[in-house]
């Protein structure tokens, strides 16, 4: 057997595999001999079928099968020994003239080669890492929400600004008939609020759906209509009031603190606010870190320049999936996935250069931490190591879960690396200001 490679350019190559009769003949002969021993052919005793007849009936199929096995083994071994960093899989070149009655065979494969490039994690312009803090306004609002949640419900005769109003939205043409409980602060305009103030049980209020809520998703839930129907919906609905209540705020006393956090964990309003601040800022860290990871990723993709074997990868995408694509569809899919492919190569390069590795122990520990947090949400605060190990073993028996958790561990390790090596500046601001600065509005 002889394998040769012709480099077309830095990103494309063709590998030629020449297979001679001596490479496969012994194996084919052995398989046919075994067939002869077990073949059931009318007119012949088992094990006494003439070899010529066995070869005529099975010979070509066995030959093709063995040559293909030999070919794949040889190609994989060659790629490993030559340490070729290929993208996708080798693509066999179209060959319509294979003479399976001959002794020697030649096969050619196209290769897409990974590009050579370098990565500079440290950008010239500093990337912002946000330190999001819970300000007094947010903490006070959360305290009030807690007081409302645990407060008493008191019936009212008329609607006031802070009332909880239960009623039914209706529109016969659109088959809308949905009972909800709402508060006036959810509506977009003051004009709607004015229609409700002073209303009583039994009153019917007519409303226009266009502009009723800031977000059409709120309208979707209020009217119980389909997602697509809610967007741009412009009709009149009636709202018949069936109940009006006011929620008296719960006292900020030890009974409430114990109910929220367990006995004597929090003993004053100051400690309550400190706890709210601490819990909120823990949540913000995850959001801030994800933003940093996204921004560094974006920087690396935009500023790490290299070419890809686009034509080869498009051809590979045509045949790589469960269903073959036509050329136009494959080209469209390649263009959609090019950015992701570039980052995969960049990520692999960074992990190699900085020695970032993920082993099974990392994945297992991450799974156990995730399980521990989930159990804590249901009041199981001190699970034993055996419990965690048993649940983690069940989770990690699913290969999709192993892959998902592995990706999370890689992201976390890269995030730690970027915090250490990238050009990062820290900016402290409240959550409201973070949302406004990053997403453009509140």
| Residue 300 and residue 414 in one domain | yes
Distance of CA 212 to the CA centre of its chain: 34
Q: In what order do the strands lie in the sheet with 2-7?
A: 2-7, 12-19, 105-113, 86-92
Output the pLDDT for position 241: 97
Output the pLDDT for position 441: 56
Question: Which domain-ending residue is among 85, 113, 141?
Answer: 113
Most confident residue range from 34-38, 216-220, 364-368 = 364-368
**DSSP one-letter code for 249:** P
Residue 8 lies in a domain: yes
Q: What is the CATH number of the domain that holds 326?
A: 1.10.3120
| Residue 318 and residue 409 in one domain | yes
pLDDT in tens, 376-420: 777 777 888 899 999 999 999 999 999 999 999 999 999 999 999
pLDDT in tens, 110-126: 999 999 999 999 999 99
Residue 269 lies in a domain: no
Residue 36, domain extent: 2-113
Residue 224 lies in a domain: yes
Residue 318 lies in a domain: yes
Q: What is the CATH number of the domain that holds 171?
A: 3.10.50
| Residue 287 and residue 432 in one domain | yes
| Residue 218 and residue 365 in one domain | no
| Residue 295 and residue 414 in one domain | yes
| Residue 322 and residue 212 in one domain | no
Output the pLDDT for position 94: 83
Most confident residue range from 25-39, 41-55, 69-83, 364-378 = 69-83
Question: Which domain-ending residue is among 64, 92, 113?
Answer: 113
Mean pLDDT of all residues in 68-94? 93
Work out the number of other CB atoms within 10 angstroms of the CB of residue 411: 15
| Residue 290 and residue 426 in one domain | yes
| Residue 416 and residue 317 in one domain | yes
Residue 124 lies in a domain: no
pLDDT in tens, 223-254: 999 988 888 899 999 999 999 999 899 999 99
Distance (Å, rounded) from C-alpha 85 to C-alpha 79?
Answer: 8
Please, which residues have CB within 8 angstroms of residue 281's CB and are 6 or more apart in sequence? 132, 133, 134
Using CA atoms, how far residue 60 sits from 39, 56, 125, in Å, is 16, 8, 65
- Work out whether strand 424-430 and strand 127-133 pair parallel, antiparallel, or are unpaired: parallel
Q: Is residue 74 predicted with pLDDT exceeding 70?
A: yes
Determine which of 38-42, 47-51, 66-70, 283-287 has the lowest per-residue pLDDT on average: 38-42
Determine which of 64-68, 212-216, 302-306, 437-441 has the lowest per-residue pLDDT on average: 437-441
Question: Which domain-ending residue is among 63, 88, 113?
Answer: 113
Tokens matching residue 277: 């601040």
Mean pLDDT of all residues in 321-341? 91
Q: Is residue 442 predicted with pLDDT exceeding 60?
A: no
Distance (Å, rounded) from C-alpha 438 to C-alpha 155?
Answer: 42
- In percent, the amount of the chain with pLDDT more than 90 equals 76
Tokens 């030959």 label which residue? 63
Q: What is the CATH number of the domain that holds 77?
A: 3.30.70.1050
| Residue 297 and residue 435 in one domain | yes
Determine which of 83-97, 200-214, 373-387, 415-429 has the lowest per-residue pLDDT on average: 373-387
| Residue 35 and residue 101 in one domain | yes
Output the pLDDT for position 98: 84
Residue 267 lies in a domain: no
Residue 379 lies in a domain: yes
Mean pLDDT of all residues in 242-270? 92
Q: Which phi and psi angles does 20 have, rounded to 5°?
A: -100, 165
| Residue 214 and residue 105 in one domain | no
| Residue 83 and residue 166 in one domain | no
Output the pLDDT for position 252: 95
Residue 385 lies in a domain: yes
Distance (Å, rounded) from C-alpha 151 to C-alpha 147?
Answer: 6
40 or 30: which leads in pLDDT: 30
Split into its structural domains, the chain has a count of: 3
Tokens matching residue 389: 């190990």
Distance (Å, rounded) from C-alpha 71 to C-alpha 107?
Answer: 8
Model confidence, pTM: 0.73
Q: Is residue 256 predicted with pLDDT exceeding 80?
A: yes
Tokens matching residue 257: 């603190």
């Amino acid at each position: 057997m002889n394998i040769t490679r012709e480099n077309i350019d830095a990103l494309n190559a063709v590998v030629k595999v020449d297979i001679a009769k001596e490479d496969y003949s012994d194996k084919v002969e052995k398989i046919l001999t075994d067939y002869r021993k077990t073949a059931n052919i009318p007119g012949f005793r088992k094990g006494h079928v003439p070899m010529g007849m066995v070869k005529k009936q099975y010979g070509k199929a066995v030959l093709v099968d063995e040559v293909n096995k030999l070919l794949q083994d040889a190609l994989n071994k060659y790629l490993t020994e030559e340490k070729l960093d290929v993208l996708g899989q080798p693509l066999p070149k179209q060959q319509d003239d294979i003479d399976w009655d001959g002794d020697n065979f030649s096969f050619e494969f196209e290769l897409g080669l990974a590009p050579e490039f370098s990565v500079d994690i440290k950008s010239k312009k500093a990337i912002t890492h946000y330190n999001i803090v819970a300000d007094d306004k947010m903490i006070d609002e959360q305290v009030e929400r807690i007081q409302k949640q645990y407060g008493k419900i008191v019936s009212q005769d008329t609607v006031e600004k802070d009332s909880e109003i239960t009623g039914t939205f209706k529109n016969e043409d659109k088959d809308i008939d949905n009972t909800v409980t709402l508060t006036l602060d959810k509506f977009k305009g003051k004009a709607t609020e004015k229609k409700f103030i002073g209303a009583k049980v039994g009153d019917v209020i007519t409303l226009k759906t266009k502009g009723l809520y800031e977000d059409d998703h709120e309208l979707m839930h209020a009217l119980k209509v389909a997602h697509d129907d809610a967007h741009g919906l412009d009709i009149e609905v009636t709202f018949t009031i069936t109940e009006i209540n006011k929620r008296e705020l719960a006292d900020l006393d030890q009974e409430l603190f114990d109910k929220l956090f367990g006995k004597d964990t929090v003993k004053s309003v100051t400690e309550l606010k400190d706890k709210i601040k601490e819990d909120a800022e823990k949540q913000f860290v995850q959001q801030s870190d994800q933003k940093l990871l996204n921004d560094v990723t974006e920087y690396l993709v935009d500023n790490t320049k290299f070419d890809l074997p686009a034509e080869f990868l498009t051809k590979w995408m045509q045949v790589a999936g469960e269903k073959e694509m036509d050329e136009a569809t494959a080209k469209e899919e390649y263009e959609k996935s090019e950015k992701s492919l570039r980052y995969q190569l960049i990520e692999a390069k960074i992990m190699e250069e900085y020695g970032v590795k993920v082993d099974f122990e990392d994945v297992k520990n991450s799974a156990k931490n995730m399980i521990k947090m989930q159990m804590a949400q249901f009041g199981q605060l001190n699970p034993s190591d055996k419990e965690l190990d048993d649940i983690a073993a069940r989770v990690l028996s699913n290969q999709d879960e192993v892959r998902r958790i592995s990706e999370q561990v890689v992201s976390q390790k890269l995030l730690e690396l970027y915090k250490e090596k990238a050009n990062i500046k820290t900016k402290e601001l409240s959550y409201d200001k973070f949302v406004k600065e990053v997403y453009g509005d509140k």
